[in-house]
Structure 1
Amino acid sequence: MSSGAPRGQGQVIRLPRGASLSDFADKINANPGSLVQEMFNLGEMVTATQSCSDDTLQILGEHLGFDIQIVSPEDEDRELLAQFNIDLDAEVASDRLVSRPPVVTVMGHVDHGKTKLLDAIRKANVVEGEAGGITQHIGAYQVHVQHDGIERALTVIDTPGHEAFTAMRARGAQVTDIVVLVVAADDGVMPQTIEALNHAKAADVPIVVAVNKIDKPEANPDKVRQQLTEYGLVAEEYGGDTMFVNVAAKPGIGIEDLLEAVLLTADASLELTAPIDGPAQGVAIEAHLDKGRGAVATVLVQKGTLRAGDSIVAGGAHGRVRAMLDENGKPVSEAGPARPVMVLGLTAVPGAGDTFLAAEDDRTVRQIAEQRQARRRAASFANSHRRPSLETIMEQLKEGERTSLNLVLKGDGSGSVEALEDALFKLDIPEEVQLRIIHRGVGAITESDVMLASASSEAVTIIGFNVRASNKVREIADREGVEIRYYTVIYQAIEEIDAALKGLLKPEFEEVELGSAEIRDVFRSSKIGNISGCIVRSGVIRRNAKARLLRDGAVVADNLTISSLKRFKDDATEVREGFECGLTLSNFNNVQVGDIIETFEMREKPRA
């Protein structure tokens, strides 16, 4: 131990993700150089200004007697906003609260009719524009329905339908008040139905079950009710408290009943209020880069009112609201609680699920965005670059033998890119292959993406999800030898990348037995050595096949080759079971009558 660094007596030190040794030194009034020396003593080489992983900081803290607590991203953000006197969790006076529409998320198994149900609700046709009939984005819409003679608003969030979008589906449940679980009456409860149900339960929100496709001849709505009782959803008609509604989205049967059930559930179990005055706060549900309009984010206002001209920050993106559009593309001057709008004017594309808030001026939002970006960069840098320690140098040398698949992910929306990345990291990847995503972004494939891929020491593939590269970019990619692949359906991308990963594996071989022969006689030849006169007992004996020699059941010689094979005086390629032959073994002469020769070949084993 060096004497330069102070010792703590279990003192708690709070550090942000990706903190450097200099940050740690500031907290304990130490010289950063002394911490660098301590890390060297612990077998890890770290500079004073380098971002450290959480593990590195914990190890150093334990060594020096400090209790290191890594600040969670949420707490980190709260502390950052506190510097600007912004408190997201501040109590709101009851006189400021007004009732707001419920936010409904539609969930369920792929192909159970979620999008068709939404079409019926908002009388629009989304599914025809979707690749393979699978919703590829989160959309948010507001619909108006008559309930007890009063026109009520409902905000509907449509989550994508494939299991690869688990992350986005979970996020949908975090901003929602009620989940509509769509189950096809002809198909019943499926794996994604249970997955969606678990997300809804984790978010602790009421569930209304829409039993869809009841117009089909094989439909069995009662079976769906029975199946869901196993998962704790008991229908009202069975004495439970969950509303089940039979619907058929295509002909539009039961849609009004479903909306009424949603509103009744909202009125019975939820008290939905929010302040309508004050600066707006909410969540970015989806964002993409539009060629003509720049960064476009779909945001759901949760508190306050968002107006055109407001300065806003969403994640690491900031800007001034140039225009707001509703779900039909019509301009909106202001948006209150539970209102989804498309916002134009951000400088960058925020991540799906990033919180947004309006602030007093452009300077405040720019500072918040810049600090968030810096913290995220530090955190991702610390996690993506593990520093070589003295113990891991040998491991890293071994890693040179590994094969890695390096990807650049580009998509039309931040939610799509995030979901694709999430799905790729859930693939069952063998240890000898590494999957590395060196860059991810929203928008068309650019020259800089290709140059980044070509600058890498290893081959990099660019994945374009619903985006393309221009002719100029394609020419550069061809010249630099960079492969670009395009996809419009997410699970097609996942399947192909999974296949590519398996293709990178070194082939596995297995031994396949060909046949065996018993030596009946041994002929001595001065020219070629001992010739074994054999009878083939099983299978086939082939010339040039690999062989081993067994004597009294024990292997005497292995890794031999049958160098010559004859039937009587004629050369033979192979001799089958029951026939006699003469053969010689390469570089092995110690054969005896009664020995058994086994032949085999090595065949490549297909990867599971």
Structure 2
Amino acid sequence: MAKVRIYQLARELGMESAELMELLDTMGVEYKSHASTLDAETAEAVKEIVREQRGLEEQRKAEEARKALPHRAPVVAVMGHVDHGKTTLLDYLRKTRVAEREAGGITQHIGAFDVHVGDKRIVFIDTPGHEAFTTIRERGARAADIAIIMVAADDGVMPQTREAIAHAKAAGIPMIFAINKIDLPQANVDRVMQDLMREGFVPEAYGGDAIVVPISAKTGQGVDELLEMLLLVAELEDLRADPEAEPKGVIIESKLDKRAGVLATILVQEGTLRIGDHVVAGEVWGRIRAMMNADGVRLEEAGPSTAVQVLGFSELPTAGDVLEWVPDEAAAKEISEERKEERKRREEEEAERRRVRSMADLLRQMQEGQQKEINLILRADTQGSLEAIKGILAKEETDEVKINVMLAAVGAPTEGDILLASTANAAILSFGVNPAGSVKKAAEKKGVLLKSFRVIYDLIDEVRVMVKGQVEPTYREEVIGHAEVRAIFKLPKGGNVAGCMVTDGKIVRNAEIRVLRGGEEVWRGRIESLKRFKDDVREVAAGYECGLKLAGFDAFEEGDVLEAIQVVEVTEV
């Protein structure tokens, strides 16, 4: 780049000359006037600074615009081990008797409802287990802002508690731990605190930063404090949304009602959804004909962080599908058809691409995703085995590659593990336990690497392969042989072939060649053909003659030395 005058550079950057000269002053660049010239290096440095300043300015404006938006209510998911009181808490909050009506106290459907704390509002999503929560995230949506992890005071941290923690971690949302059933005589809050510390969560009461609230979902003791903590975390998260934006949300649940037809529960996340709006969710379109909230009140519109049940979809939308506003029915139908066709085209390719047949396939997927973290789900026959495996794995981490154990639990791998692994690109490794046939089929279908081991160190070796596959390899050049040009033969169709004698090592067909003349390199490239007499060969050893044709060079001279080089990976010891 040639020299450029200050006023010319200012015009190119869309600035006033005076503004640019102020910048030059701060850089310590000397000049006489706006007609002074800048060298290419200085001009490029100025452009870089201006680009950086404008980028920061755009970020600042974007943040200012976000700060100008109104706050929205936090959306909370309640998760935990079966019978640890999830449904009882939700029942207490919405003042209904759902828990008594449901078989065994286990939630069997998804619901969403509001809880008012003073002038604040909290939206609770009731997901049956972690599968629905993960399915929503698997489809690219994020429904919840905060997770409440329920832990029974008389039971402690259990396998499904760990699963709930793993799912919340994978979703990247903050967690609040609710120690439930403190009204029971056998309740032991301190033991649960110890359990949580073993999982890596140090409660605030013990000097850590994990928010832990003891409650009784049955009597309501501590529930007000839990709600206050939710609002505090929501304030720190600074949740905002634009009610004037195009409506957008996520499908929480859908069902076919005998009288009403297709009903879908929608969590509105952006904009305001109104009666008469046309929407698309996945491959399904609809026109909103009616909306009602959890209390059965009909609504004309629903803003951000509002859960509503709507009537108007042509078919059942899938839980987890993102809902988008479209201008009219024609656009809705067109988008729906396009997505159906795209799915059909993609299904066969996707099934083949995602099927992980080996460790090499998983490593390829990780490298394609630029992943420098190995996500693992560990299953073992005993807690002792798990601790031993985790202890050894901790030593296998490198500065470049982190081993992230998302879930470590006793027992055989489950279909819930497969779902988690598929969303987090994780491998499931089990020791001393075998997965059921249905789990193996689910792993194959989802493209999840699922392997079982009987020897701990076989499992560790498998992880070492994964770690090695994530480290950027180091290469070095290795000279493998030399050949001297003894004669030059012209080809009938043009070009020359070098008649050579291999003086040491060997010349290999796929090697790189350096042409040396008087000790100086005159060309470097690949071999086009390597022959002995008239036969193509893969390599020629020392003491034998050969004919060499190079790709892109034929100006040989007698006495030239051809040096064969191979690039080899340096193995770290």
Output the TM-score relative to the length of structure 1: 0.47
* Higher normalized helix content (fraction of residues): 2
